[in-house]
Chains A and B, each alone.
Chain A
Amino acid sequence: MKQIFNYFYHTEDLTRDLDGLLLSVARALGLPDWTAVAVEVLGVILMICVFLALMALFLVYLERKAAGRFQLRYGPNRVGPFGLLQTIADAMKLFFKEDIVPTNADKLIYKAAPAFCFGSAFIALAFVPWSINVAPVDLNVGILFYTAITSLAVLGLLMAGWGSNSKWSLLGGIRAGAQIISYELSASLAILVIIIFSGTLQISEIIESQREGWWIWRGHLPAVIAFILFIIAGTAETNRTPFDLPEAEAELTAGYHTEYSGIRFAMFFLSEFLFMFLVCAIAATLFLGGWMPFYIGGLDGFNAVMSWIPPVVWFFGKTGFLIFVLMWFRWTFPRMRIDQLMRLEWKVLMPIGLLNLLLASIVALSRLYIFSA
């Protein structure tokens, strides 16, 4: 019992013991060592798959519930207690729905598009650090790889737009392309600020660099500006309101996924929610310390109290809060026009991002951090 309790706080022990256990089982059965690794890899993939599906379902429920309350409604409250089973019912419906492929669609591109979207979300999830030493992949260029992989999703949207052979889809796809290429800039400029502060691209080391205080406090002004930039750009990259121009149901019926139905539509839908989770998880990791508790450098007593809350709870608390903020944005702000969208990025966010990078460099060079004991 005490051991389980310990694993909760020191997840690095959990992964180490799990490795040892699998290896000893493999050796006892007379199998080569690589079978243990293979089993572990498959297990992690399975865990991510299950987690992915459950989380997406729950996020859809949460989104609808929050939408209801923001708009003076109840939200889903008929299927199951508090409407909890609503999204499961919806998912069942989508599974059994007919998969319609338009006659003149480019069949291969049309069918591959949802897989691209879903796949890139799936790969990017491998970089999320859930807890101490619990990240499926911890590359030394992790954050760079994350930005590259998430940008791949727009290829899926462009393919969906082109392959559907529909003007709504094409316009939606083109808009998605223009939007992501534009907002990737300010997102990268915001990430660069943290890279300058922490001096590394490895996600685990970025978290480790926040042991004396999260970057949003320690980095003060440049970090706060970078955080706001990252949240705005993240909202735009996940195509959520007020930046949901690729879908824009008032103008483009449903944008790039107009022609999709059934399980293929569900894949687009789920990947949208997964990307929302990813953006929030990465924002929490870079700016709010990921699984790192709220430490203040030098105050050991205070830090000891904060350590009582397990790292997993910290991670999900921060990510959950950011997800709520994104939902809050979505149900408060009206959608922008395409020219306003471009003006916001190229005339406002990018100049601010560049100036902020300069400011951050000055702060980093002169070590003007707060809480650095």
Chain B
Amino acid sequence: MSYTGKIVNGGWSLLQGMWLTLKYITNPKTIITQEYPDNRETLKMFDRFRGKLIFVFDEESGKPKCIACSMCNTACPNASIELEGEKDPETKKRYPTKYVWHSGQCTYCGLCVEACPTDALKFTGKYENAVYDRAELDIDLLNSKDKG
């Protein structure tokens, strides 16, 4: 490119940049800052956000979809899932009797949700997971207040 061509080209690209930032400063709608915690009532996380883990319950029977197959446990890279299951003698199906999610160890990688054959595990958009006592981090999903 010629000497003058470079100068004109450079000047033009600078003007383009300034035009873009001028649009930003003149239009308040472009602000993307979330004023947390002022907007905690209206702030909604996007669909794929990996927040608190919950159990999915069957709508008709009200029982968990989980079949206690332990695949989530196997998939978990840092053993943050602890579960026990029993076989129902009538229906010959397994169901969980204990399901504890040690969220303090969890890296929120999502491998358990991917591994689950019955889609019984789900991430919610709940992100305020700080607690005062470490024991509160071990969450019993079977009897958890949050249900999906």
Residues on A lying within 8 angstroms of B by beta carbon are 66, 69-74, 328-329, 331-333, 348
Contact = CB atoms under 8 A, between A and B. Distances in A.
Contacts of B32: 72-73
Interface in B18-54: 18, 20-22, 24-25, 28, 30-33, 35
B135 interface: no
Contacts of B24: 69-72
A70 to B, nearest CB: 5
Contacts of B14: 332-333
A331 B25 CA distance: 11
B15 to A, nearest CB: 10
19 contacts: A69-B24, A69-B31, A70-B21, A70-B24, A70-B25, A71-B24, A72-B24, A72-B30, A72-B31, A72-B33, A73-B33, A328-B18, A328-B21, A328-B25, A329-B18, A332-B14, A332-B18, A332-B20, A333-B14
Given A332-B18, A348-B7, A66 B25 contact: yes
A331 B14 CA distance: 12
Contact of B17 (A66, A73, A332, A348): A332
A66 B25 CA distance: 7
Contacts of A328: 18, 21-22, 25
Contacts of A71: 24
A29 B81 CA distance: 92
A332 B31 contact: no
Contacts of B7: 348
Given A70-B21, A328-B22, 18 more contacts: A66-B25, A69-B24, A69-B28, A69-B31, A70-B24, A70-B25, A72-B24, A72-B32, A72-B33, A73-B32, A74-B33, A328-B18, A331-B21, A332-B14, A332-B17, A332-B18, A333-B14, A333-B17
B67 to A, nearest CB: 47
A24 to B, nearest CB: 51
A332 B28 CA distance: 17
A69 B33 contact: no
A74 B35 CA distance: 9
Contacts of B28: 69
B28 to A, nearest CB: 8
Contacts of B18: 328-329, 332
Contacts of A332: 14, 17-18, 20-21
Nearest to A352: B7
A71 B31 CA distance: 8
B17 A69 contact: no
Nearest to A74: B33
Contacts of A73: 31-33
A347 to B, nearest CB: 8
A73 B33 CA distance: 6
Most buried by A among B18, B20, B28, B32: B18
A86 to B, nearest CB: 16
A39 B14 CA distance: 50
Contacts of B30: 72
Contact of A74 (B17, B20, B31): B31
Nearest to A67: B25
A332 B21 CA distance: 7
A74 B32 CA distance: 9
Contacts of B22: 328
A54 B22 CA distance: 27
Contacts of A74: 31, 33, 35
A288 to B, nearest CB: 19
Contacts of A331: 21
Interface in B69-128: none
Most buried by A among B18, B21, B30, B32: B21
Contacts of A70: 21, 24-25
